[in-house]
Chain A
């Protein structure tokens, strides 16, 4: 047992979960949500920012609905990969996440809210003590960032989840619930710098589901993932390119998003619009790829060096766009 002590709560309804969260909040008792556990539990075993209370969503039935336009937060990634109801690219991306064993536990909500990663951070407690901790888990020491020293104002840990880029390109809306309110926002607005803040979730809030607009089936595209091994590995870079086509095959709309490169996924609307407005076939794709490469700034905290990851963004963007050139 490597787990630090915590009290596990297992509510059996969403309301129950939220009121429990409210109670814990009111009494100033810190807690985490646990969905599939494939991200949180290893982090807990390594004593990474663990809390004295954990609320499990495993028994909350409301969060598992799945249809073309509604994806519950507790939908297991493997179920998403196997689903014929969802957009095929969502299923494909889901099937590329980690390993089949991880996907059977891991959930959509957990993937969207994946904690940021860094090789100075994702280590055991003893290991981190040997580097005198880091900014993301300073253990009360006020430790500096180990990736970019001499700045303890920003965490540059990397967001390495696969689902977000495609869902952002498909125009997904994310729905949140907390003890006192429910709210929704475009997924593109959900993520917030830095590697510690990560997203818009307020204390006590959770993701209930994502919805997709009615035109979801009109989008085509691809997701390209860079990784060392074809299972287990997080994306070292991921690029989703999605478009709607005119009858002549040229794109009428175009969206591009990236992951695995910075502390939050990137939604590259300016680059996509520029490409769309000056669409010229192959050379436009090259320009888009170069623009996306320029737009991302990876740092040295994952398996591949950042210079390589950045160069590969260009290759991945081109490859993800290859369908655009098939007329």
Chain B
């Protein structure tokens, strides 16, 4: 049988690749044609970065490259060698969530959660640049991200509330703080 499809093999030669992923120096060998999303998921351990469409139409794979939101599915890994890359795993400060991570849960910004990593890195960059965005600015910033669950409204709510937290300067509490005591004393009525 004549084969008209393009061969997938042999794979191209590997090249060295390094980047500062969430503050950690990562040095790997990657195939020359590798896409950043594949490198992040399969080699750099960022399974939080999601593949939704593989062609730039859902935004689930968004990451920050030197602070700028980019679609990792449409980025050649070699082109960002040496850059600082922030993925969803890098947003929280240890066990202190980024305010937008906290408000996403509390305001309903996340339902199934699959699109959340993309939204969150994009919004974190927005808030970095513009700590008090208007609704229009919020919408313009997340127009490249698709959410099928929330209808976006509670995502916009989450950004508004996160912006208030940022303005207040409050740190988001440590998620490892002690949970409720099952043996409380009488607290009055």
Interface residues of A (CB under 8 A from B): 1-8, 10, 34, 36-38, 41-42, 45, 47, 50, 54, 56, 58-59, 98-102, 104-105, 125-126, 129, 133, 139-141, 230-232
Question: Can you list 10 A-B contacts (CB < 8 A)?
Answer: A7-B32, A8-B78, A42-B54, A42-B56, A56-B78, A58-B79, A99-B56, A99-B144, A101-B69, A102-B56
Residues from chain A with a CB closer than 8 A to the CB of B7 are: 4-5
List 9 tightest A-B contacts by C-beta distance, closest first. A101-B144, A99-B144, A231-B143, A139-B4, A42-B55, A58-B79, A47-B6, A8-B32, A4-B6
* Cβ–Cβ contact A37 & B74, under 8 A: yes
Q: Is the CB of A10 within 8 A of B78?
A: yes
Stretch from B33-41, B92-100, B171-179 that touches the partner = B33-41
Across the two chains, which residue of chain A brings its CB closest to B81?
A10
| Smallest CB separation, A164 vs chain B (Å) | 21
For the complex formed, measure the closest distance between the CB of A11 and the CB atoms of chain B, giving whole angstroms. 12
The dominant DSSP class at the A interface is: loop
Residues of B within 8 A of A101 (CB): 56, 59, 62, 69-71, 122, 144-145
Pair B144/A38 contact, Cβ less than 8 Å: no
Report chain A residues within 8 Å CB of B70.
Answer: 101, 104-105
Render B5-40 as a binary contact track against A, CB cut-off 8 A, 1 for contact.
Answer: 111111111000000000000000001111100100
Q: CB-CB < 8 A to B32: which residues of A?
A: 6-8
Q: Which residues of A contact B144 (CB under 8 A)?
A: 98-102, 231-232
**CB of B134 closer than 8 Å to a CB of A:** no
Q: Which residues of A contact B111 (CB under 8 A)?
A: none
Q: Which residues of B contact A (CB under 8 A)?
A: 4-13, 31-35, 38, 54-57, 59, 62, 68-71, 73-76, 78-79, 122, 140-141, 143-145
Q: Which residues of A contact B57 (CB under 8 A)?
A: 232
> Given A41-B76, A100-B143, is A1 in contact with B38 using a C-beta cutoff of 8 Å?
yes
Q: Is the CB of A54 within 8 A of B79?
A: no
Asked whether A139 lies within 8 Å of B5 as measured between CB atoms, the reply is: yes
Query: Which of A99, A125, A140 has the most chain B CB within a 10 Å cutoff?
Result: A99
A5 touches B4 (CB 8 A): no
Instruction: Please name all residues of chain B whose beta carbon is closer than 8 Å to the beta carbon of A42 when the two chains form the complex.
Output: 54-56, 74
Question: Distance in Å from the Cβ of A149 to the closest Cβ of chain B?
Answer: 19
Residue of chain B at shortest CB distance from A42: B55
Quick check: B33 and A5 within 8 Å, CB to CB? yes
Q: Would you call A50 and B74 a contact (CB within 8 A)?
A: no
Instruction: Given A8-B76, A99-B144, A101-B59, check contact A41 B6 (CB 8 Å).
Output: no
Residues of A within 8 A of B6 (CB): 4, 47, 50, 125, 139
B74 contacts which chain A residues (CB < 8 A)?
A: 36-38, 41-42, 102, 105
Q: Give every chain B residue within 8 A of A2 (Cβ-Cβ).
A: 54
A102 and B71 within 8 A (CB): yes
The distance from the CB of A6 to the nearest CB of chain B, in whole angstroms, is: 5
B12:A7 contact, CB within 8 angstroms? yes
Give the complex CA separation of A6 and B57 in angstroms: 24
Please state if A5 and B5 are interface contacts (CB–CB under 8 Å): no
Nearest residue (CB) in B for A100 is B144
CB < 8 Å: which of B38, B62, B76 contacts A37? B76
Residue from A34, A37, A100 in contact with B140 in the complex, judged by beta carbons closer than 8 Å: A100
Contacts of A231 in B (CB 8 A): 143-144
Chain A contacts for B11, CB-based, 8 A: 5
| Nearest chain A CB to B129 CB, angstrom units | 11
Q: Which residues of chain A have C-beta atoms less than 8 A from B75's C-beta? A: 37, 105
Given contacts A101-B56, A104-B70, contact A3 B35 (CB under 8 A): yes
* Cα distance A10–B76 in the bound complex, in angstroms: 11
From A41, A102, A129, B5 is in contact (CB under 8 Å) with A129
Chain A hits for B140, CB < 8 A: 100
Given contacts A3-B35, A47-B5, A125-B5, contact A104 B12 (CB under 8 A): no
| Chain B positions within 8 Å of A230 at CB level | 143
A231 to B9, CA, bound (A): 36
| Complexed CA–CA distance, A54 and B12 (Å) | 12
Complex-state Cα separation, A10 to B75, whole angstroms: 13
A141 cross-chain contacts in B, Cβ below 8 A? 4
- Check B8 against A4 for contact (C-beta < 8 Å): yes
Q: What distance in Å separates the Cβ of B76 from its nearest Cβ neighbour in chain A? A: 6
Contact B71 A105 (CB under 8 A): yes
Given the complex of chains A and B, what is the CA–CA distance between A100 and B31 in angstroms? Answer: 29
